Amino acid sequence: MPTFRNPVLPGCHPDPSICRVGADFYLVTSSFAYYPALPVFHSGDLVHWRQLTHVLNRPGQLPLQGLDVSDGVWAPTIRHHDGRFYVVSTLAVNRRGSLTFVVTADDPAGPWSDPVPLEAEGIDPSLFFDDDGRCWLTACRDAVAGGGPGELWMRELDLDRLKLVGPTHVLWHGALRGAWVEAPHLYKRDGVYHLIAAEGGTERNHSVTAARSDTVTGPYVTDPRSPLLTHRHRGPDEPVHNVGHVDLVDTPDGETWAVTLGVRPIAGTHTLGREVFLVPVTWTAHGPVFAPETGSVRLTERLPGLASARQEEVAAASRVHFDEPVLGLEWNSLRGPVTDLVRPAADGGGLEIEVTPEPLSSTGVPAFVGRRQQHVRFHAQARISFSAAHPSEEAGLTVFQNQDHHATLALTVDEGGSTQAVLTIRETGTTTRLATAPLPSGEAILAVEGDEAGYAFRVQDLGTDRWTDLAAVERSFFSTERAGGFVGVYLGLYATGNGRAGSGRARVRWFDYRPGRGAATD
Ligand code: 6LW
């Protein structure tokens, strides 16, 4: 039986939503405070995904400045109806829904419209297009009149005016007493409306629950089989945890599959964030059955029967020379565009990064670009030259969990003006210098190698070609369990004057990322 490896989208890609148009599948995930926002992926076989674009990739579309990395753009839903793609999502501030919006496009590769605000409270909006052509938005919010803590609600969306109309229908308070119910999606099968949701929170107690009704606005009755999918009862040896937040799609061959988020903890902690896993689904008179063979999300799963599937080529390893006019789609900045600060050099000789006062520890827009770490075992290195004008100026590589939790390996100068490489870690307001190495040539290869134990940092002075091992940082330092939040590790390039305006700029000739030994999707 041919199989595939889960996760199908490794690295920080939480809250996946999926739809199909003909033989093509499209998927979107949360992007939090990263810019551009809401990555859109395409697949022909549900297993291999290639990024097409971002839904929000124009300056000023959403106010992300000032936000913690784990706030921002949460839990989108993508749907297609009548030749048009729709994405609904929420801007979260201080971990609460502050603005829900809809964005549309005729082509999933864009351009997408500007976000249209909706009078919708809460988070995790979704869309359901009924047979009668009516469109319904569902979402979750604090329970208004008991029964909570949370509740799922619904209102009709006027597609011409992109405006919610008519009364609000409170649909359901969840199956698990006392647990917050979220991430609703509505599906109709054989005339029955199936409301699928997540409960228990996005950590270890995460689960998939359901309710059903014969009429779209309810009443919805709890599916007594709930939870329909969870790993909350599976012990520490289970390789996949936090399973929940699903979206379902039917294939042209009549199969149903679900995408779900999950994490791959090692010794109880995870660094890659919530990733996208693919799970088979069958249907009975009661409703969907997730992972009918095993009841669990597996790292090796049988292939979808998509006989004629067109496979997307997905390169794991890459050396980027930054000789294209714009950065690849895998590169994100924080809270806004940085095209004026971080750009491919006009002479084609790599990436230029301006020194600005904005430190990585702020909630502003630092001169930073990063890509997701997608393998626990990986190598990343960059060839960089930088001559700092002051010891507060630095430029280099960062292993970035969030603004309060990251490590930097950077070129700077000491009090005497001599160039050196400095390795520091920052944790909740405290910066600790772990190691330094003199770099008389001012040009170096900065490298970090990760595995189950930790992140080992080293530097090669290109004047002498001599490598110096600096120090290793334990892997759990960068874990969500330690740092909090909802995101995974990014590997980035940055420059800052740490509050001091600078005039210089760093030059990065190339950046290398490749999975480590045995790290297929490790
Ligand atoms: C998202 C909610 C959740 O809105 O985490 O996993 C929030 N569950 O559904 C942010 O990812």
188 occurs within a structural domain: yes
Ligand 1, atom 5, residue with closest C-alpha:
202
pLDDT in tens, 279-334: 999 999 999 999 999 999 999 999 998 755 656 655 666 799 999 989 999 999 99
Q: What is the pLDDT of residue 348?
A: 86
310 occurs within a structural domain: no
Q: Is the separation of the CB atoms in 114 and 99 below 8 Å?
A: no
User: Residue 274's domain spans which residues?
Assistant: 3-302
pLDDT in tens, 106-122: 999 999 999 999 999 99
314 occurs within a structural domain: no
236 plus 337 within the same structural domain: no
Q: What is the pLDDT of residue 302?
A: 95
478 plus 420 within the same structural domain: yes
Task: Tell me the CA–centroid distance for residue 47 and ligand 1, in Å.
Answer: 23
Mean pLDDT confidence for 470-483: 98
Taking the C-alpha atoms of residue 506 and residue 513, their distance in angstroms, rounded to an integer, is 20
Q: What is the pLDDT of residue 308?
A: 56
Ligand 1 pocket check: which of 15, 38, 208 to mutate, most ligand atoms within 8 Å of Cβ?
Answer: 15
Q: What is the pLDDT of residue 330?
A: 97
Q: Which of 251, 238, 252, 356 is nearest to 297 (CA)?
A: 238
Residue where a domain stops, chosen among 253, 277, 302: 302
Q: What is the pLDDT of residue 522?
A: 47
Percent of the chain with pLDDT over 70: 97
Q: State the DSSP string of 65-122.
A: TT--TTSEEEEEEEEEETTEEEEEEEEEETTEEEEEEEEEESSTTSPPPPPEEES--S
69 plus 96 within the same structural domain: yes
Q: What is the pLDDT of residue 518?
A: 63
pLDDT in tens, 224-244: 999 999 999 999 999 999 999
H/E run at residue 204 = none
Residue where a domain stops, chosen among 302, 337, 354: 302
452 occurs within a structural domain: yes
254 occurs within a structural domain: yes
Mean pLDDT confidence for 328-342: 97
Task: Tell me the CA–centroid distance for residue 323 and ligand 1, in Å.
Answer: 37
pLDDT in tens, 354-368: 999 999 999 999 999
Q: What is the pLDDT of residue 227?
A: 97
Ligand 1 pocket check: which of 93, 121, 486 to mutate, most ligand atoms within 8 Å of Cβ?
Answer: 486
Residue where a domain stops, chosen among 271, 302, 333: 302
Residue 432 confidence (pLDDT) above 70:
yes
Query: Which entry of 15, 393, 394, 404 is annotated as an active-site residue?
Result: 15
If you average pLDDT over every residue of the chain, what do you get?
Answer: 95
Burial of 236 (0-12, 13-18, 19+ CB in 10 A): exposed
298 plus 445 within the same structural domain: no
146 plus 225 within the same structural domain: yes
182 is annotated as an active-site residue: yes
Q: What is the pLDDT of residue 114?
A: 98
- Kindly state the tokens that stand for 185: 């999606």
Q: Which of 263, 261, 249, 264 is nearest to 304 (CA)?
A: 249
Percent of the chain with pLDDT over 90: 91
240 plus 367 within the same structural domain: no
Mean pLDDT confidence for 130-158: 95
Burial of 305 (0-12, 13-18, 19+ CB in 10 A): middle
Ligand 1, atom 10, residue with closest C-alpha:
74
The atom of ligand 1 lying closest to the CA of 124 is 4
308 occurs within a structural domain: no
15 is annotated as an active-site residue: yes
The atom of ligand 1 lying closest to the CA of 244 is 6
Task: Tell me the CA–centroid distance for residue 351 and ligand 1, in Å.
Answer: 34
258 plus 350 within the same structural domain: no
Task: Tell me the CA–centroid distance for residue 202 and ligand 1, in Å.
Answer: 6
Q: How confident is the model at residue 475 (pLDDT cuts 50, 70, 90)?
A: very high
Taking the C-alpha atoms of residue 128 and residue 185, their distance in angstroms, rounded to an integer, is 8
Q: Structurally, how many domains does the chain consist of?
A: 2
438 occurs within a structural domain: yes
Q: What is the pLDDT of residue 148?
A: 79
Q: What is the pLDDT of residue 178?
A: 73
Task: Tell me the CA–centroid distance for residue 341 and ligand 1, in Å.
Answer: 31
Cα–Cα distance list, 286 to 192, 193, 226, 297 (Å): 10, 11, 11, 21
pLDDT in tens, 56-74: 999 999 999 999 999 999 9
Whole-model pTM: value is: 0.97
Cα–Cα distance list, 122 to 44, 92, 99, 149, 246 (Å): 33, 9, 8, 12, 18
Task: Tell me the CA–centroid distance for residue 440 and ligand 1, in Å.
Answer: 48
206 plus 275 within the same structural domain: yes
279 plus 395 within the same structural domain: no
Mean pLDDT confidence for 361-376: 98
Taking the C-alpha atoms of residue 99 and residue 121, their distance in angstroms, rounded to an integer, is 7
Query: Which entry of 182, 275, 301, 451 is annotated as an active-site residue?
Result: 182
212 plus 355 within the same structural domain: no
Q: What is the pLDDT of residue 502?
A: 85
82 occurs within a structural domain: yes
275 plus 323 within the same structural domain: no
Mean pLDDT confidence for 5-9: 97
Q: What is the pLDDT of residue 188?
A: 98
Residue 23 confidence (pLDDT) above 70:
yes
The atom of ligand 1 lying closest to the CA of 261 is 6
Q: What is the pLDDT of residue 1?
A: 85
Pocket of ligand 1 (CB under 6 A): 14-15, 30, 74-75, 123-124, 182-183, 198, 202, 245, 486
115 plus 82 within the same structural domain: yes
- Residue whose tokens read 């979750």: 140
